[in-house]
Amino acid sequence: MAAERAAKVGTTTALLVLVGGALAVYGLDQLSKFLVVTNLTEGEVVPVLGTVLQWQFVRNPGAAFSLASGMTWIFTILAAGVITFIVWFARRIRSIAWALVFGLLLGGVLGNLTDRLLREPSFGLGHVIDFISTPWLIPAIYNVADIAIVSSMVLFMILTIRGVGLDGIRESKRTDAAAEAEPAADAPATGQATTDGPGAAPAGDGRTPLAGSPLAAES
């Protein structure tokens, strides 16, 4: 129960986590791209951990991980739509985990959208700066924003599979709580007098027998 209470938070706390996560991702993404552009030449490869991790400066006109090049405008519009949805949807979140999901997604989408809007060759068609290369893992080159977007999708799948709602409560716990509440609602109120059943006194008609009547003589 303590863990469940910790997972469920108020709207303000969830919004702070979401915004804080988004700003952290966005700031790290833009700072790393600035350092790459100012210190590396395009196409240059700098080994960091041999062939395990390398810096390789490329300009990507496509989507995350250098996919679907030549569709920059489409991804620009999609990114704007995702950001609009997150801003509209944010007030429904009552869970730190879900706030992290949307914070990572928002920061990553904003990071790449900034490149598409402000970098060469033109507004809305700018190329995204990619520089992280892990040839042993995937052949594509990516950036901090891409990592945040993929991480948000992984966390989204985990929370969905575990049945965690936007309020931080798992669906199974919600069902158990509803099942426990049903017997309490069906139970009779305590202290209520019962007049039926064996041994119950017969109810009278509330009238006093007249003097001289057989009923009066018996009483």
Q: Which two tokens stand for residue 126?
A: 């700018």
- Is residue 79 within 8 Å of 113, Cβ to Cβ? yes
- What integer pLDDT is reported at residue 148 of this predicted model? 98
The mean pLDDT of 106-111, rounded to a whole number, is 97
Structural tokens at position 5: 């209470």
- Helix axis angle, 144-161 relative to 96-118, nearest 10°? 150
Tell me the pLDDT tens digit for each residue of 165-211.
888 887 665 555 555 555 555 555 554 544 455 555 455 555 555 55
Give the model confidence (pLDDT) of 37-76 as tens digits: 999 999 999 999 988 999 999 998 866 555 555 667 788 8
Name the least confident of 114-118, 136-140, 190-194: 190-194
The beta-carbon contacts of 149-153 under 8 Å, at least 24 apart in sequence, are 149/64, 149/104, 149/105, 149/108, 149/109, 150/64, 151/104, 152/100, 152/101, 152/102, 152/103, 152/104, 152/105, 152/108, 153/105
- From the candidates 29, 115, 130, 186, give the one annotated as an active-site residue: 130
What gap in Å lies between CA 120 and CA 175, rounded to an integer?
54
Question: What pLDDT is attached to residue 204?
Answer: 53
196 catalytically annotated: no
Distance CA 83, CA 35 (A): 26
Q: Which of 146, 167, 186, 205 is catalytic?
A: 146
Report the C-alpha gap between 151 and 154 in whole angstroms: 5
- Please check the confidence at residue 156 and state whether its pLDDT lies above 60: yes
Half-sphere exposure of 202 (CA within 13 A, CB side): 2
- Rounded Cα gap, residues 25 and 109, in angstroms: 10
β 54-60/128-133 pair status = antiparallel
Q: What is the mean pLDDT of residues 92-117?
A: 95
Answer whether 42's CB lies under 8 Å from 57's CB.
yes
Instruction: Determine the Cα–Cα distance for residues 7 and 165; give it in Å rounded to an integer.
Output: 11
Residue 130 catalytic? yes
End-to-end CA distance of the chain: 64
